[in-house]
Amino acid sequence: MRVRVRSLAVLATLLVTTSLPAQTIVSARDSTVRCDYLVLTPRAFSAQVIRLAEHRNASTRDDVSSARVVILDELLSAHTPSDTVLPSFAVVWLGLKWCYNHWPLKPQYIVFVGDDRIGVDWSDSTFKSTGVMPSYIARLRPTCYVGGGCDVSEPNFSDTHYGTVMDSLPPWVTFRAPDIAVGRIPCETATQCSVYIDKLVRFEEQPRPGAWRNRTILVADDMMQGARLDNITDHYMSQEKLSTGSLAAGFLTKHYLSLFQVDADTIHSAAKAAYFEQANHGALWTIYFGHGHPAKLSDELFLTAQDVGLFAPQTPPTIVASFSCSNADFTKRIDSCMSKSFLFAAEGGAVAYIASTVLSYASSNYALARTFFGRRAANSGESLGKSLLHAHREYSANMQYQILGDPALQPNLPEAPMALNPSTDDGALTSLSCVPQSADLQAGTYMAEFYQIDTAEIAPFMATSHGMYERLTLLSTDSAAFSGTFSLTLPPSVRAADSVKAVVYAWNDGYESRAWLRFRPLSVGVVEATSHSRPASRISYTDGAIRIALDRQCDAPGMLTLFDIKGRSVFATHIAAGQSAAFDLARLGIPSARYVAVVRTKTQVQRVPFIFAAR
């Protein structure tokens, strides 16, 4: 009888296996699986996510080799310990760690499908996931007070911790930076799941070309919280630093809420209308600094979950990067969750959403943003997940930030370099020469924008001044097809301006290029800054190695020094001008710990903090 029952069980398994799509992983303990893009889904959404895996396997616009799907119940069943009771998120982490350590092709991306709910189990006073896809709860117990009562409103959760799989200790003990790029499609229904995947596929496989792919809307909260003065920070300063740094090559719209007057009931209706007027023409990025909430941005309701209906038909979806509190809290229902409403909008909305699931702080928000967008400026063809992974490794204090959407999304076309050179006539700057420097982009379309640069008051509607900002006033635009080197004649409005910024974006079906120049037309064409300006040295930490490069223009060697957290030098070496080198820390016998790598040249000092975990 037992043999017969076992035979029936085997037969049933074979029948189920043969009916499953090829992308589905039958056994979560199969050590022969090759998968660098793993989708973890509840069974209810399995039919929808198969299309996502098929898309990733067929796409030529990503760095995915093999996309596979595993059902959550199968992963839990295969990796639940027999001798210990663990919360579901801990079992998921154990399963992912096993896959990373045993599969010949290791996962580089993990995509969780489905949202979650988090509540308190008062039988043991711990937070518990009660939704269809458990989130990683970094703090299991609510904060309770001596006088009585507990704060159950803010569980500390983030899927980013799931990506920490290389340590022997679990991430709830070490809180180390992740090893795998993680994302979540926080759908509540199969229809929402399908809407998002359809939007993603259209965005990647039917790319809408145009200058909108170089446009960024920079939004900064104002100095008020309703009727009260906001004493936390000047949010616009973070945008100012990004706009003159890693975002300088974009067409930038500075949408600072302090520049708009609020309604009598302290609502930013004018700022909201102006945002959608710009967004409905297309903007690849919407970047926000300020106060946030799961359902809104700013206390004055600048954007809310309900505003998604204000996107015009056929508007390309944006990518939202919200550096604020709790704006990625996907445990809320869609009508009170802005990230969900934007992701699951069929028209417009967002194709990816980068934000914090819980409380965050202004200074660390800027540090993460600077690292993330600096990485993208240097590696524009990289996926969002890899860029955020790099930012978490460089700055691991903001692990609550994660990607809602597909982490393998590569929103930019591959970059082809282009030089932008000023041309003079009788000592006056009269034109700019644009020189494509790659065979991949010798012909296509360009868009050029010229801005007058001046300084202006940041809060014209307030009784007292709260500082100044660099105002960019559009003077002129130029767009046409090109073949080979092309020239931009400066119109009279540009030649008459005191200080000007020119931004040029060129593209064809497969590549894009951008360049910028700041100059003073009235000062015999004095060039203040250019997109060709590079630091004398470049240093980074990835995959257990320090990588450094010194430009040939350096007239003396540089010094690379590695310091531990007590300031002691553990390694030092000279780097010759023009040399590039990589130093494998494990081969150097460096133990696992926190370090700061410092490279010094005659003109600059660069520091990169990191955590090294020896394998």
Instruction: For residue 479, give the nearest of 503, 452, 501, 498 by alpha carbon.
Output: 503
Hey, which of 3-7, 110-114, 430-434 has the most confident mean pLDDT?
Answer: 110-114
Instruction: For residue 420, give the nearest of 519, 522, 497, 492 by alpha carbon.
Output: 519
Looking up tokens 């097809």 gives 481
The pLDDT tens digits for 295-352 are: 999 999 999 999 999 999 999 999 999 999 999 999 999 999 999 999 999 999 999 9
Q: Is the pLDDT of residue 174 over 60?
A: no
- Positions of E strands within 55-175: 67-71, 109-113, 118-121, 126-129, 143-144, 150-151
pTM of the entire structure? 0.83
Helix/strand/coil (H/E/C) assignment for every residue in 294-326: CCEECCCCCEEHHHHHHCCCCCCCEEEEEECCC
Q: Does domain 537-612 have CATH number 3.40.50.300?
A: no
How far is residue 606 from each of residues 369, 370, 558, measured CA to CA in Å?
18, 15, 11
pLDDT number for residue 149? 57
Q: Is the pLDDT of residue 226 over 70?
A: yes
Q: Is the pLDDT of residue 537 over 70?
A: no
Which residues lie closer than 8 Å to 478 by C-beta, 6 or more apart?
446, 447, 448, 488
Q: Is the pLDDT of residue 480 over 50?
A: yes
DSSP per position, 546-559: EEEEE-TT-SS-EE
**The tokens of 382 are what?**
């990289």
- What DSSP designation does 21 have? -
The pLDDT tens digits for 69-94 are: 999 999 999 999 988 788 899 999 99
Please state the domain extents for the chain. Answer: 418-530, 537-612
**The tokens of 115 are what?**
């949202």
Side chain identity at 173, as an amino acid letter? Answer: V
**Predicted confidence band at 19 (pLDDT cuts at 50, 70, 90)?**
low
The pLDDT tens digits for 31-78 are: 999 999 999 999 999 999 999 999 999 998 899 999 999 999 999 999
Q: Which residues pair with 254 in a beta bridge?
A: 218
Query: Per-residue pLDDT averaged across 398-420, rounded?
Result: 93
Hey, which of 130-144, 278-292, 354-368, 513-527 has the most confident mean pLDDT?
Answer: 278-292
Same fold, 418-530 and 537-612: yes
CATH says 418-530 is which class?
Answer: mainly beta
